[in-house]
Structure 1
Amino acid sequence: MANVNVSLQVLPSVKEENLYEVVDRVIEYIKSSGVKYEVGPMETTMEGELDQLLEIVKEAQNICVKAGAPRVVSMVKIDYKPEGVTMEEKIYKYKK
């Protein structure tokens, strides 16, 4: 299967002062997975095989719960086309 883009925003139900710490754990996991990714102010976008990226999304929920969140709300966006899609093709003209 061709590359897809998946954007993930996790909103763990934790105390305000712990929010970034939990989100940072998710980002560290994404980094350790070896997929191409880009952190934005509201979400992290990943590029790779759909099945692998969905496994990352699934594990992100577990990471938040293990960090003390009794509940996690996540927003997931998937950009798919049969021939593949890259982050670069969408944003190259905005990079300086």
Structure 2
Amino acid sequence: MPVINLGFQVLPKVPDGNTYAAVDRAIEVVQRSGVKYQVGPMETVMEGELDTLLAIVKQAQEACLAAGASEVMTFVKIHYRPGGVTIDEKMAKYR
């Protein structure tokens, strides 16, 4: 399976209103996963195989719930190319 880019944003509904703490737990899941990633102000972008990345998104949602969220809305964007696509090739001209 080719390497893809997957961008996702979690929007946890937290009773005390401290959504950043729940989002931090989701980002920790990504950090521990071992995949290449970049955290941005509105979403996190990961690089890897689709099934692996979707499993990480699921774990990130569960981490938000474990952090006290009553529900989580998640937005996912996928850039798929049969030959693969990397974060570096898309970002090289900006660095």
Q: Please give the TM-score of this superposition, normalised by the length of structure 1.
A: 0.93
Secondary structure of residue in 2 paired with 1:11: strand
Partner of 1:77: 77
- How big is the shift at 1:64? 0.9
Q: How far 1:84 moved relative to its partner?
A: 0.2
The residue that corresponds to 1:51 in the other structure is 51
Moved more, 18-27 or 35-44: 18-27
Shift of 1:65: 1.0
- Alpha-carbon deviation of 1:66? 1.2
> Residues of 1 paired with 2:11 and 2:59: CA distance?
14
Q: What residue ranges of structure 2 are gaps of 5+ in the alignment?
A: none
Identity of aligned residues (%): 59
State the shift of 1:56 in Å.
0.4
Write out the 4+ residue segments of structure 1 that deviate beyond 4 Å after TM superposition: none
* Consecutive unaligned residues in structure 1, runs of 5 or more: none
Shift of 1:60: 1.2
> Distance between the aligned counterparts of 1:28 and 1:92, measured in 2?
26
- The 5 A counterparts of 1:12-31 are 12-14=12-14, 15-16=16-17, 18-31=18-31
Q: What are the Cα deviations for residues 11-64 of structure 1, in whole angstroms up to 9, with x where unaligned?
A: 000133x21111111111101000000000000000001110000011111111
Distance in 1 separating the partners of 2:41 and 2:68 = 23
- State how many pairs are aligned: 94
Question: How far off its partner does 1:68 sit?
Answer: 1.2
TM-score, L = length of structure 2: 0.94
Query: What's the RMSD between the two structures over aligned residues?
Result: 0.8
